Amino acid sequence: MIKAETGDFIYVHVKNNASRAYSYHPHGLTYSKENEGAIYPDNTTGQEKEDGYLEPGKQYTYKWYVEEHQGPGPNDSNCVTRIYHSHIDTARDVASGLIGPILTCKRGTLNGDTEKDIDRSYFLLFSTTDESRSWYSDENIRAFTESGKINTSDPGFEESMSMQSINGYIYGNLPNLTMCAEDRVKWYFVGMGGEADIHPVYLHGQTLISRNHRKDTIVVFPSSLEDAFMVAKGTGVWMLGCQVHESMQAFFKVSNCQKPSTKAFVTGTHVIHYYIAAKEILWNYAPSGIDFFTKKNLTAAGSKSQLFFERSPTRIGGTYKKLVYREYIDASFQTQKAREEHLGILGPVIKAEVGQTIKITFYNNASLPLSIQPHGLLYNKSKEGSFYKTPGESTPPPSSHVNPGTTFVYTWEVPKDVGPTSTDPTCLTWFYYSSVNEKRNINSGLLGPLLVCRNGSLGEDGKQKGVDKEFYLLATIFDENESDLLEENIRTFITEPENIDKEDPDFQASNKMYSINGYMYGNLPGLDMCLGDNVLWHVFSVGSVEDLHGIYFSGNTFTSLGARKDTIPVFPHTSQTLLMTPDSIGTFDLVCITIKHNLGGMKHKYHVRQCGKPNPDQTQYQEEKIIYIAAEEMEWDYSPSRKWENELHRLQREKYGDSSSL
């Protein structure tokens, strides 16, 4: 790891001990052309080209400078994440392993090689390394397989070469992530790879500060660089990892080193008690049978919705048996509590203020072991609600798998350490779900919203003060192929279950339900508000790499973290809190504008009525601007000149004699 402060010069002495040429290229630093470490057509010759290719056995000294404008900004933490890598053929060089971390820090914030006021720091690279793109792929095949029997085009072999890892380790093998309780810990995250490398990185049992906002999940994409600060809580071995790639898992250990404690687990003076049961229901993704955008029947021939809603001897249709959380008035679990209709498939909204304790009496009224695991709260290992074995642990705690017909009491704390920062909204949007088998439980329907609010921000009725309406939106693709109840749904709704091929791509596509709160094609009810209302939208998502959503509100705008928008990006296992004051009356679209999701039914309507309130927009419009725009047809060449591309290929062939990647 290279560390430097603004104003520092960095001299890197590199020797190539490998068998082919490589280079050394930094991100986020200043360098001259002869110190860039990259090869491409840039009109340089001679000495200025030597940095771009370091032949085997050769040495080179790279000289870089950390300018003030390249260091951390005023709102950044003291040190921010950068990287270096070989830049001859970047994809293949990095797939071969040539990448590493750089930290650039504010002047005076390093104490020798460590960041001041930080006890531990860790750099984590999340990447799907495609070993078939490594320069050593053929050599590895010869060394570790019966190469004559390998078909490199076989999909199974290709998948086996795709290593979804953290720092090159998979399935919990990354060593030495250790810290003391109350340690101040800095995490540096990097994402690399291809289009599938969307990594929501979740740390169990902890919350983080990133970009001055409270989080427990940091999303990294290819070539994205993030950092986060954490005060370690809760002794024990915890899991961290990517929420969509199951092999990207690691463990970090928090030990009791007798440091002064913030007493995070002392029970609050006010206990909020919820009675929640898991139960099985029949769920219809579009109970009206109508696409409210086309006004046609959902099973109309040739419609996009026909795939999902037509029931046949080999198709389930739009109704599935699902698992849901529902709230009851007491521990008898006889009377269900009233709920807002827009929540749809979601479980009850759990709310608490900083300083309070949440107590959940959970009754499993389903037919398989289940749990409740929250995001954004503090808890000890016995109340985690997540089913995984840690090194040295033989059996997960009872909270991780509550058997059918039994109850378990979860107790979670809401100390100041998990509350909103000064730049966060009044209430943070989180969620909870069953985590016995996280993917299958969530796709079965077991999740709900959770809010952590500033002290004193909620009224006696539990509603946020100064807010007229609150809506909770889960944008996700419920993959019924991954539901715990798939087999039962096949037996119940398909007349010829013996003829079903569960691996058939068309069958699988028919079971991927592009929904918001479990509804599709405009069937989500209850999104009603008045002109001038203060409206909060709590938006979150779960799912897979397909769950990249752009949620668009037509007709009105909202603010998110101080920025005015009409569209918000939502990624798996992330959440957003949006404030809208509608100033337009009518019925408007609330849709995901990711094309496939939109066509698949992730689109609904919200309604703004007059209600006797004045229009909040009192702007006096004085000027009129007229713009004339025409739509025209034309031919478009994406690469009118191939000169630069051809020159790049020539340089690589000339210097390295290898054009296999071109």
pLDDT digits (tens, 9 = 90+) for 53-62: 899 999 999 9
The candidate with the shortest Cα–Cα distance to 653, out of 50, 645, 638, is: 645
- Report d(CA 86, CA 39) in Å as an integer: 10
Strand-strand pairing, 213-215 and 59-65: unpaired
Q: Is the pLDDT of residue 486 over 50?
A: yes
108-126: average pLDDT: 94
Q: What is the mean pLDDT of residues 335-341?
A: 97
pLDDT at 146 over 90: no
pLDDT given for residue 396 in this prediction? 82
Answer for the pair 26, 98: CB distance below 8 angstroms, yes or no. no
With H, G, I as helix, E, B as strand and everything else as coil, classify residue 149. helix
Amino acid at 106: K
Concerning whether 611 is annotated as a catalytic residue, the answer is no
Phi-psi domain of 522 (left: phi exceeds 0; alpha: psi -120 through 50; beta: other): left
Which residues have CB under 8 Å from 524's CB, separation 6+?
Answer: 342, 344, 516, 517, 604, 605
pLDDT at 263 over 80: no
Selection from 547, 569, 515 nearest residue 198 by Cα:
547
Summarised one tens digit per residue, pLDDT across range 153-189 is 888 888 888 999 999 999 999 999 999 999 999 999 9
1-117: CATH number? 2.60.40.420
Whether pTM > 0.85 for this model: the answer is yes
Per the listing, tokens 């705008």 go with: 557
pLDDT at 518 over 50: yes
Please determine, for residue 662, whether its predicted confidence score (pLDDT) is greater than 70.
Answer: no
How high is the pLDDT of residue 333? 98
Indicate the CATH number for domain 274-609: 2.60.40.420
Q: How confident is the model at residue 390, as a pLDDT?
A: 85
pLDDT score for 167: 96
Q: Please give the backbone phi and psi of residue 289, each rounded to the nearest 5 degrees, phi first.
A: 75, 5
Share of the chain above pLDDT 90, in %: 81
Task: Tell me if domain 120-261 and domain 274-609 are identical in fold.
Answer: yes
pLDDT of residue 658: 53
Check whether 522 has a pLDDT greater than 90: yes
pLDDT for position 46 = 83
pLDDT at residue 264 tops 50: no
Q: Which residues pair with 184 in a beta bridge?
A: 231
Rounded to the nearest angstrom, the gap between the alpha carbon of residue 316 and the centroid of all alpha carbons in its chain is 30
Residue 660 — very low, low, confident or very high, per pLDDT cuts 50/70/90?
very low
Question: Could you tell me how many residues make up the chain?
Answer: 662
Mean pLDDT of 93-97: 94
Q: Give 298-301's long-range contacts (Cβ < 8 A, gap of 24+).
A: 298/521
| Residue 619 confidence (pLDDT) above 80 | no
Q: Is the pLDDT of residue 661 over 50?
A: no
State how far the Cα of 139 lies from the Cα of 144, in Å rounded to an integer. 9
CA quadruple 161, 165, 167, 172: dihedral positive or negative? negative
Residue 265 near residue 380 (C-beta atoms within 8 A): yes
- Segment 582-605 shows an average pLDDT of 97
CA distance 381 to 651: 57
Summarize pLDDT for 638-659 with one digit per residue, the tens.
Answer: 988 888 888 777 776 665 555 4
Handedness of CA 342, 443, 549, 221 (dihedral sign): positive
Query: In the prediction, which pLDDT does 621 show?
Result: 80
Q: List, as one string, the DSSP characters of 386-432.
A: B--PPTT-SS--GGG-BPTT-EEEEEEE--GGGS--TTS-SEEEEEE
Q: Domain boundaries in the chain?
A: 1-117, 120-261, 274-609
Kindly report which listed range (30-44, 113-127, 322-336, 508-522) carries the lowest average pLDDT score. Answer: 30-44
Name the catalytic one among 105, 242, 592, 611. Answer: 592
Mean pLDDT for the chain overall: 93
**Residue 92 predicted with pLDDT over 90:** yes
For 311-336, what is each residue's pLDDT tens digit?
999 999 999 999 999 999 999 999 99
Supply the pLDDT for residue 265. 46
What is the end-to-end Cα distance of the chain in Å, rounded? 31
Helix/strand/coil for 519: strand
Domain topology for 120-261:
Immunoglobulin-like (2.60.40)
pLDDT band per the 50, 70, 90 thresholds, residue 149: confident
| Three-point CA angle 258, 263, 267, nearest 5° | 145
Q: What is the pLDDT of residue 53?
A: 86
- Is the pLDDT at 295 greater than 60, yes or no? yes
Indicate whether 233 pLDDT > 50: yes
- Name the residue among 554, 539, 546, 527 with its Cα closest to residue 594: 546
Q: Residue 26 and residue 86: Cα distance in Å, rounded?
A: 9
266 pLDDT more than 90: no
Position 545, amino acid: V
**pLDDT for res 39:** 84
